[in-house]
Amino acid sequence: TVGDPLKDTAGPSLHVLVKLLSTITLVLAPLFI
């Protein structure tokens, strides 16, 4: 994408990691609250 060189190089793996982290956070959040 234009104006986003970081997304082109490390985009896919980073996106998967972020999705995984957010999912884990959503699942574990009720346990900590």
Query: Which pLDDT tens digit goes with each residue over 1-33?
Result: 555 665 666 667 777 888 999 999 999 988 877
Q: What is the pLDDT of residue 31?
A: 87
**The predicted structure's pLDDT at residue 10:** 60
pLDDT at position 5, please?
Answer: 60
Instruction: Please list the helix, strand and coil fractions of the chain in percent, rounded to the nearest 5, in that order.
Output: 85, 0, 15
Model pLDDT, residue 33? 75
The predicted structure's pLDDT at residue 17: 84
pLDDT at 24: 92
Instruction: Note the pLDDT of residue 32.
Output: 79
State the DSSP H helix or E strand holding residue 1, giving kind and residue range, or none if neither.
none
d(CA 9, CA 32): 35
Does residue 7 contact residue 1 with C-beta atoms inside 8 Å? yes
d(CA 33, CA 16): 26
